[in-house]
Chain A
């Protein structure tokens, strides 16, 4: 029997990342980052890109996250401001570090929102991959793939892909308590 993923699991995952985006951007409800559902085929693939992957693992499932950034000027400037207090142009290694830091923070926040007493998950560190690796998602044999276009700020966008791999014959049913609107900032996050 194949693995089963309940509809509310997908909603829960989407909400966790939506909330995580709000928290790390420090935006209020009115200016919340956008998380637009897409298909794998409609995702933007133009320009020079950087692909980072990170995995959330539990006993019966793992979620492989792929963050596909376009390295245009607005994107670089946004992340430079977010982590380096105003440097508009970053050197290659510095840019790689900044993107890794962002992926780590966003995934960690989402992981914290998903973790409950009954659900334990661990998180890996982010890794950079060749952009073309995105074409090989089916090698993971995922039960479900969710694709999003994320707009953390005006004129800044990146692709986010969530691949859910569930143990055979297992049922994945994730539900969390209602998420609070309050934005938490300035605290040391332990994921």
Chain B
């Protein structure tokens, strides 16, 4: 028991000594903090008593304006930088596009020159063929003349047949007259009557053949005339078609020539 009490006393003494030492060590630190705090409070007191509310507002506004001005300047500088970059990019793209377009143009011009040469050659070939076709029209004109000769010949045949018919009619009349005279002569005229009848029969037959022949001449005339007209009309149609082709070909030639003399585009 006595030991316990002695220990507790020792502990107590030790604690008190420690606390005293702690207190002695902490006192300067605390003193310093207290001094700093008092200084800050004095500063704040000094600030709040030195600047008025309006002045504070004005100073704050000035600071804000300054900040806004700095911000606007920074933004403007940033925008100018972007614009310069955009302009540079635009110029670069434009230069590249012009270079490409120039290359394409040269390539197309080369193709156009080749095409124009080929078209000119074809155009000349077509022109020669058209001239040949127009020469063919001379054949049609020859057919026209030949058909005219056939029609003239038909007219001659018709006139000859008409003359033949007239002669046959006269023979018929003569044979009738002969029959009449033979009848007057009575018995002496019997032989002559037979001859007259024979002649009349022949004349009638000749007359019928003349009619057949006339009919055939009419058929011949009709077929020949319509055939001739077909040649004439077809020739006219072909000539018109060829002349239309010629005009179109000349138009093509003018267009090729105009294109060849057009100013260069670049």
Which A residues are closer than 8 A to B by beta carbons?
A: 53-59, 62, 64, 120-125, 127, 129-130, 132-133, 135-136, 139-140
Contact = CB atoms under 8 A, between A and B. Distances in A.
12 contacts: A53-B226, A54-B229, A57-B234, A62-B230, A121-B233, A122-B234, A124-B228, A124-B229, A127-B228, A133-B218, A133-B221, A136-B219
B213 interface: no
A62 B233 contact: yes
B223 A139 contact: yes
Contact of A121 (B219, B222, B237): B237
B232 interface: yes
Contact of B237 (A54, A58, A64, A130): A58
Interface residues of B, number: 21
A26 B237 CA distance: 28
A124 B224 CA distance: 13
Contacts of B238: 122
Contacts of A64: 226, 229
A57 B229 CA distance: 9
Nearest to A137: B222
B241 interface: yes
Contacts of B222: 53, 129, 133, 136, 139-140
Nearest to A133: B222
Interface in B217-266: 218-219, 221-223, 225-226, 228-230, 232-241
Given A64-B226, A120-B241, A140-B223, A130 B233 contact: no
A140 B219 CA distance: 10
A135 to B, nearest CB: 8
B232 A55 contact: yes
Given A120-B240, A140-B226, A55 B221 contact: no
Contacts of B240: 120, 122
Contacts of B226: 53, 55, 64, 140
Given A130-B218, A132-B215, A139-B219, A124 B237 contact: no
B218 A123 contact: no
A122 B237 contact: yes
A181 B222 CA distance: 36
A140 B225 CA distance: 11
